Amino acid sequence: AVQLGPRYGSILFIVSEVMFLFAFFWASSHSSLAPTVEIGGIWPPKGIGVLDPREIPFLNTPILPSSGAAVTWAHHAILAGKEKRAVYALVATVSLALVSTGFQGMEYYQAPSTISDSIYGSTFFLATGFHGFHVIIGTLFLIICGIRQYLGHLTKEHHVGFEAAAWYWHFVDVVRLFPFVSIYWWGGI
């Protein structure tokens, strides 16, 4: 019964984050489907460089869902009482998360536009930046869970904190598909 409060709180927090990120994807979709005359009535606006979605964004997209599989592996290992296997799975998850964050850094470094380049730059950098921020927060959650698992703090009966981190991570890895489709692919092809 004591574990229900943190579980419900985690679910409500994730739902609020879904709404928060949805607002950015809505802004991007609205701007691309109904571009105003001020930006020339086309999307992306004329003169704005965009990233090719078939390059780094394409390579980065399967990484987070793969890390979601690794965090599920960790969860099953915890439930089976296999502590060492859970640590390995969390190391794999965090490693994939760090690769994804590195790829996003490369995207930003190579981006032909900036946040101040019209509505395209604003929606691109806000949506992908906030998603990247969520990846970093989720990575920190999972690092803490990995340390706690290594120290023997998590058991099959007591791992609510890990479950909350895993739910958050699944939210982050599923959300990755939305910027790829609505921002990279839609805006770049």
pLDDT at residue 23, rounded to an integer: 92
Q: Which domain holds residue 44?
A: 4-188
**Closest by alpha carbon to 93, among 107, 82, 77, 109?**
77
pLDDT at residue 163, rounded to an integer: 96
Contact 13, 171 (CB under 8 A): no
pLDDT at residue 51, rounded to an integer: 86
| pLDDT per position as a tens digit, 53-85 | 899 999 999 999 999 999 999 999 999 999 999
Low-confidence ranges of the chain (pLDDT < 50): none
For residue 3, what is the enclosing H or E element?
A: none
Tell me the two tokens of residue 54.
Answer: 């078939």
Q: What is the DSSP string of 93-161?
A: HHHHHHHHHHHHHHHHHH-SS-TTSHHHHHHHHHHHHHHHHHHHHHHHHHHHHHHHHHTT---SSS-HH
Tell me the two tokens of residue 78.
Answer: 């915890």
| pLDDT per position as a tens digit, 170-183 | 999 999 888 888 88
pLDDT at residue 38, rounded to an integer: 83
- Domain total of the chain: 1
pLDDT at residue 1, rounded to an integer: 60
CATH code, domain carrying 128: 1.20.120.80
Contact 128, 176 (CB under 8 A): no
pLDDT at residue 189, rounded to an integer: 59
**Closest by alpha carbon to 150, among 66, 85, 67?**
85
Kindly list the distances between the CA atom of residue 76 and the CA atoms of 71, 72, 148, 152, in Å, as whole numbers in the listed order: 9, 6, 16, 16
pLDDT at residue 44, rounded to an integer: 85
